[in-house]
Structure 1
Amino acid sequence: MLQKLLKNKIKLVQFFFLVALLVLIRAYEDQLFYDPFLNYFKSDFTHLPLPNFNLFQLFLGLFFRYTLNTGISLGIIYVLFKEIQMVKFALVLYYFFFMILIVIFFFTIYYCREHNNLVLFYVRRFLIQPIFVLLFVPGFYFQKQNS
């Protein structure tokens, strides 16, 4: 009984540590990443033209942030389920979704311009926030319960 309680405490500490890392990434996003869209989407962006940006720096900033969020999210999945196969599957899903989302993001910037600011907003949101972990954890839990 004591071992199970101690094991769960360690699991909780690891989980909250990883969640705190995600919060720190969000808190220091202005200093850590190049993203001219941070301030753009904080304003009334529906009536503003898109900000000027460096394509290469923007891609690297989005890729770096997505990679950090993915690494931490995979850590959360491992801490919760302790199954390396689940983590590998989630990694494949994360980078599959990254490829799709980054193409949609840059396509929207270059070909749709100001007409689809909400599409740009939501695609970017999936790229910069760890939303997929909120989808994967319940899905993996359901899968584990049914297997």
Structure 2
Amino acid sequence: MLKKLFNHKVRIALAMLFVVALVLIRAYEDSLFYDPFLDYFKGDYFNLPIPEIDNLQLFGGLFFRYFLNTSLSLAIIYVLFKDIDAIKFASFLYLIFFVILVAAFFFILLKNGDSNKMGLFYVRRFLIQPIFLLLFLPALYYQKQKQ
């Protein structure tokens, strides 16, 4: 009984450690990633033109941040559920969502960024924040309860 309780404490502590790592990514985003939209969307962006960007560097920054968030999210999912099939499924979804979101982001940015700033904002938000973790945790919990 004590061992089982200890195992849950370790799992919760590990999950909290990974959540803290996600918070640290957010806290140090200015120095870790190239993203001219960080300051742009903090201001009055409706009245400002889209900032000058280096598309390749922006893609690299978005990819690196998405990769870090995805890795930590998958670690949280594994620690909480201990299910390799869930990790495989979530990894596949993360990959598919990345391809779709990056394509949508750069399409909006290059074709109609000045006229669709809200679309740019929200697609970018899904790329840089671990929002999918908030969607996957309840879904996986529900799936686990159904089995």
> Aligning the two structures, in what range does the TM-score lie when normalised by the shorter sequence?
over 0.9
2:32 aligned partner, one-letter code: L
Matched residue, 1:40: 40
Matched residue, 2:96: 96
Matched residue, 1:54: 54
Segments of 5+ residues of structure 2 without an aligned counterpart are none
Count of equivalent residues: 147
Equivalence map 1:16-31=2 (5 Å): 16-31=16-31
SS class of match (2:115)? helix
Runs of 4+ in 1 over 3 A off after TM superposition: none
Query: TM-score by structure 1 length?
Result: 0.98
- How far residue 113 of structure 1 moved from its aligned partner, in angstroms, is 2.0
Matched residue, 1:5: 5
SS class of match (2:41)? helix
Q: Is 2:129 aligned against 1:129?
A: yes
Matched residue, 2:142: 142
Distance 1:28 1:36 in 2: 14
Per-residue CA distance 1:68-96 (angstroms, 9 max, x = gap): 00000000000010011100110000010
SS class of match (1:42)? coil
Query: TM-score by structure 2 length?
Result: 0.98
2:83 aligned partner, one-letter code: E
Identity, in percent, stands at 58
